[in-house]
């Protein structure tokens, strides 16, 4: 693992970029992809051949173990442009750490964290022209790892691919969202894979999410598996509630993903003088706070969505409405966005230049 960090990343550029074919200021995430991808191969116990090359299809054997046994993990990040037009990454070392946390849980090899960040820097610098400039937009970066060994049998794979690709993205939610409090399906349990950013976690969420959307909601509010009382996550987000002037977010109890945006929001709130409490919080507590008038704000946090303000939580037996005004949620969103484009000082040291 040590040798690969000192290896140079071989770069093969496309003959002609496709960036002019896309309206970067009017694009949805995941619908268009930038010109290149980073690839690195794991074979014989080592990561080898780090390279950036034109985005193309990847030959895959039908017996690739990721397809049968689910050894697949990913990260989500965004690149923005700074004041001088320099591509910027937001806390990439935290993503590197989380990728390896997920890899360890899923029985996959760790990826060198320095190479992870260096690959992101070189890849993002090469794809600079794909970074949208309109407010709230960014180049979404998707690092992922999967087992590509051709073998049918229940064991850890011995060969893997690590890839980074990118998709320009506009703002995810431009309005308040409605959350469906799920009382049948569960996302994760303690001891499961909920803490890992594993592909299978999201596959299991697709059917309940589609049902929630069919009922007029935007995302699922996941509750615990034992009594459907303790709040866990929201679809692709962590969640915060402001009750009687204090912010409460579910603690990382063993089934909740440690969001990079989540940890950043906690730091911003505390820096602004707010008390933030990480502890179990129940849906009954939210109902009671709504009834007694102490429920003030709620928002979801995630790389793709940024800050998504919550307008309502419900299901067929429940309807919790949130106040119209969201002053702190707006402040947090504006602060994070300003840091990411160097409009304000990055006092936390989160920004890494990609050059």
Under 8 Å between Cβ of 337 and 136: yes
Rounded distance, CA 205 to CA 202, Å? 5
**Residue whose C-alpha is closest to residue 260's, from 23, 89, 133, 60:** 89
Tens-level pLDDT at each residue, the chain (355 residues) = 444 555 699 999 999 999 999 999 899 899 999 999 999 999 999 999 999 999 999 999 999 999 999 999 999 999 999 999 999 999 999 999 999 999 999 999 999 999 999 999 999 999 999 999 998 899 999 999 999 999 999 999 999 999 999 999 988 777 899 999 999 999 999 999 999 999 999 999 999 999 999 999 999 999 999 899 999 999 989 999 999 999 999 999 889 999 999 999 999 999 999 999 999 999 999 999 999 999 999 999 999 989 999 999 999 899 999 999 999 999 999 999 999 999 999 999 999 999 8
Is the pTM higher than 0.85? yes
Rounded distance, CA 65 to CA 156, Å? 9
Rounded distance, CA 22 to CA 10, Å? 27
Helices (H), the chain: 2-6, 65-69, 92-105, 113-126, 199-214, 260-271, 283-292, 327-340
DSSP state, residue 129: G
């Amino acid at each position: 693992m040590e040798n690969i960090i000192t290896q140079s990343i071989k770069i093969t550029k496309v003959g002609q970029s496709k960036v002019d074919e896309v309206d970067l200021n009017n694009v949805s995430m995941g619908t268009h992809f930038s010109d290149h991808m980073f690839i690195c191969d794991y074979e014989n116990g080592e990561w080898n051949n780090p390279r950036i090359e034109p985005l193309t299809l990847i030959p895959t054997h039908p017996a690739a173990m990721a397809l049968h046994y689910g050894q697949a993990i990913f990260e989500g990040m965004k690149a923005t442009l700074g004041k001088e037009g320099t591509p910027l990454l937001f806390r990439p070392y935290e993503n590197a750490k989380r990728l390896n946390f997920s890899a360890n849980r899923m029985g996959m090899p760790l990826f060198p964290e320095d190479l992870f960040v260096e690959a992101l820097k070189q890849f993002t610098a090469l794809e600079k022209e794909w970074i949208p400039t309109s407010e709230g937009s960014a180049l979404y970066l998707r690092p992922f790892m999967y087992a590509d060994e051709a073998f049918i049998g229940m064991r850890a794979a011995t060969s893997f691919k690590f890839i980074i690709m990118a998709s320009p993205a506009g703002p995810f939610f431009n309005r308040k969202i409605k959350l469906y409090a799920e009382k049948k399906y569960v996302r994760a349990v303690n001891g499961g894979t909920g803490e890992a950013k594993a592909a299978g976690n999201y596959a299991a969420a697709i059917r309940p999410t589609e049902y929630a959307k069919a009922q007029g909601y935007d995302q699922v509010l996941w509750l615990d598996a034992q009594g459907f009382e303790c709040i866990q996550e929201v679809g692709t987000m962590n969640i915060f509630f402001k009750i009687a002037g204090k912010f409460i977010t579910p603690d990382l109890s063993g089934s909740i993903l440690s969001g990079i945006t989540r940890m950043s929001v906690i730091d911003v709130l505390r820096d602004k003088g707010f008390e933030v409490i990480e502890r179990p919080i129940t849906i009954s507590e939210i109902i009671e706070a709504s009834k007694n008038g102490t429920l003030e704000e709620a928002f979801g946090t995630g790389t793709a969505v940024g800050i998504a303000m919550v307008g309502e939580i419900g299901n067929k037996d429940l309807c919790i409405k949130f106040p119209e005004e969201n002053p702190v949620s707006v402040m947090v969103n504006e602060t994070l966005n300003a840091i990411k484009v160097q409009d304000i000082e990055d006092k936390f040291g989160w920004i890494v230049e990609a050059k």
